[in-house]
């Protein structure tokens, strides 16, 4: 592997699981780059004051702070990420919220969420599913932890744009929007809304899902 490929592979690995000192810089970079998309995702989720919300794969943690503001002092936020570096960075940044019990940070995977069944009213997961091989398992877990009236917003970069990124060959799985929607449906989550965040034809996609109604007896 040439030097350029090695650098791209290293950066791609950091995006998929920010680690160590470089991971801390990547977390900050993600916060700057993705703040707009994450704000739009939380607008689409529209969590009510007092709600229990989650950011799954929170990276640099900008979504955790925005969710804490939206759910207010009576609400609660869970953050799950499988990078120990991101969890400890968020624990330092949100020390007070953690101490007050308004924020719970957990190391774990979206494919095996460390959350109780039916415990979350609203969740976001932004720029994460490229790193998940078993998407059906991830959506089953999202369906399991949501209350029946809950919603989850899945945010992804525009697939054709993502496919052309130099980091993509190094461990990203890019799926068309229709495929993501079909996998969610087979896991029991129906598409409620499809918004774009950002400008132009390559704006990010925000897919809002809700549990499918129970079949009639």
Ligand X SMILES: C[S@@+](CC[C@H](N)C(=O)[O-])C[C@H]1O[C@@H](n2cnc3c(N)ncnc32)[C@H](O)[C@@H]1O
Residues lying near ligand X in the complex (CB under 6 A) are found at 15-18, 30, 34, 38, 57-60, 80-83, 86, 109-111, 126-128, 131-132
Q: Among residues 10 and 148, whose Cβ is nearest to ligand X? A: 10
Report angle CA 188, 191, 196 to the nearest 5 degrees.
145
Both tokens assigned to 45? 């989720």
Q: CB of 82: closest distance to ligand X in angstroms?
A: 4
Q: Among residues 128 and 140, whose Cβ is nearest to ligand X? A: 128
Q: CB of 54: closest distance to ligand X in angstroms?
A: 11
Both tokens assigned to 1? 């592997």
Phi and psi for 201 in degrees, rounded to 5? -70, -20
Q: Among residues 60 and 211, whose Cβ is nearest to ligand X? A: 60
Q: CB of 49: closest distance to ligand X in angstroms?
A: 23
Give me the sheet containing 204-211, strands edge to edge: 103-107, 76-81, 52-56, 120-126, 146-156, 204-211, 189-197
Q: CB of 213: closest distance to ligand X in angstroms?
A: 28
Contacts (Cβ under 8 Å, ≥6 apart) of 55: 61, 63, 64, 67, 77, 78, 79, 80, 123, 124, 125, 126
d(C-alpha 101, C-alpha 75), whole Å: 10
Q: Among residues 86 and 206, whose Cβ is nearest to ligand X? A: 86
Q: Among residues 100 and 173, whose Cβ is nearest to ligand X? A: 173
Q: Among residues 126 and 152, whose Cβ is nearest to ligand X? A: 126
Q: CB of 96: closest distance to ligand X in angstroms?
A: 22
Q: Give the nearest residue (CB) to ligand X.
A: 59
Q: How far is CA 117 from the centre of its chain?
A: 18
Neighbouring-strand partners of residue 154 = 125, 207
d(C-alpha 7, C-alpha 179), whole Å: 30
Q: CB of 148: closest distance to ligand X in angstroms?
A: 24
């Amino acid at each position: 592997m040439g030097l350029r490929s090695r650098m791209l592979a290293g950066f791609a690995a950091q995006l998929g699981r920010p680690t160590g000192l470089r991971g801390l810089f990547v977390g900050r970079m993600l916060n700057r780059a993705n703040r707009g998309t994450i704000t739009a995702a939380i607008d689409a989720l529209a969590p009510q004051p007092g709600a229990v919300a989650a950011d799954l794969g929170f990276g640099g943690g900008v979504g955790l702070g925005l969710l804490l503001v939206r759910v207010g002092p009576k609400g609660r936020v869970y953050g799950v990420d499988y990078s120990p570096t991101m969890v400890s960075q968020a624990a330092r940044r949100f020390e007070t919220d953690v101490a007050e019990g308004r924020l719970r940070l957990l190391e774990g995977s979206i494919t095996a969420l460390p959350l109780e069944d039916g415990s979350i009213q609203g969740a976001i997961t932004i720029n994460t599913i490229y790193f998940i091989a078993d998407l059906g398992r991830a959506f089953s877990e999202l369906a399991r932890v949501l209350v029946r009236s809950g919603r989850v917003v899945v945010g992804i970069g525009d697939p054709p744009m993502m496919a052309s990124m130099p980091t993509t060959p190094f461990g990203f799985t890019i799926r068309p929007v229709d495929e993501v929607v079909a996998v969610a449906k087979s896991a029991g989550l129906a598409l409620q809304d499809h918004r774009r965040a950002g400008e132009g034809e390559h704006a990010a996609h925000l897919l809002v899902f809700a549990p499918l109604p129970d079949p009639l007896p």
